[in-house]
Structures are given as C-alpha cells and as structure tokens.
Homo-oligomer: A and B are copies of this chain.
Amino acid sequence: MSTLYLEDLAPGQKYQSGKLTVDTDQIKTFAGQYDPQPFHLDEAAAQETIFRGLAASGWHTAALTMRLMVQGEFRLAGGIVGAGFEEMRWPQPVRPGDELRVENEVLEVRASKSRPEQGVIKVRCTTFNQRNEPVQVFVGNLIVQRRQ
C-alpha cells in the first residue's frame, strides 16, 4: 500500500479497512476507564436503559474506527490528522461480538492557500457491523501533505 498525497486524492474514491471483533471484556474495560455508565458496564443494568442491553461506548467505537483507519489502506502522507468534524452520529449501538470495518469516502480535496505544503480533504468515514449496518458515521476534515 502506497502513501497517499493530496495529489493522489479525488472525490468519490473509497478506501477500505480490515475488520476487528469487539467482545464484552473490551467493551467493559474501555467503559471502566473512559465512560463508566451502566449500559456500557453491566448486562443486567443495561437491560433497564435506553440501550436494552450492553452496548459499547460511542467513544470506544470512535477509537476502534481510528485503529481500523490507521491500519487500513487509507495511508495518508503525514498520517491521519483530523482538523475537526462537521457531523458525527451513531445510528446503531455496537454490541458484544460485533465485527467492525470502516470505509472512507473522499468528498472534497482542497489545496491550502496559506500553507502550500499541505491541503485539507473532507471525508465521510462510515463504520459498519457484520450486517453492513452503519454504527458510526462522521464527516471530517483531514490535513494531508502535498508531494514536495
């Protein structure tokens, strides 16, 4: 897999990741450290909540999405550096045993006027479960290096 510079990127391109499976222990460990709420920590307590069962923290899904992006085919020059997001949502909960994969679609490519060595791309990053249901969607702006 080659490194992608700003000049290599164009709207409509799609880049895939590998897959990973989330298990109960991982969900509870992440939640214990970063999002200690009943629906992420305890199966029985989670039944009584809006999630109706144990669900991964949305930030856990975001973190796993990042790992899949970094290790996938979307190898941006200078790394994956987010300037910010315009939209982010979690349409479905992530459950124990779910298998996740990520697809990045390039929406826009812009050279920087003030910094000729780089540009910004707008990307839609969708995380799917094993039923191809989106569990996370964000539209973000990433900084990408130009070829020198």
Contact = CB atoms under 8 A, between A and B. Distances in A.
A144 to B, nearest CB: 11
B63 A35 contact: yes
A50 interface: yes
B90 A87 contact: no
Contacts of A44: none
Interface of A: 30, 33-39, 49-50, 57-60, 62-64, 66-67, 70-71, 78-90, 143
22 contacts: A30-B63, A33-B63, A33-B67, A34-B63, A34-B67, A35-B70, A36-B67, A37-B79, A38-B79, A49-B78, A50-B79, A50-B81, A50-B143, A59-B59, A59-B62, A83-B89, A84-B87, A84-B88, A85-B88, A85-B89, A86-B87, A88-B88
Contacts of A79: 37-39, 49-50
Nearest to A30: B63
Contacts of A37: 70, 79-80
Interface of A is mostly: mixed
Nearest to A140: B88
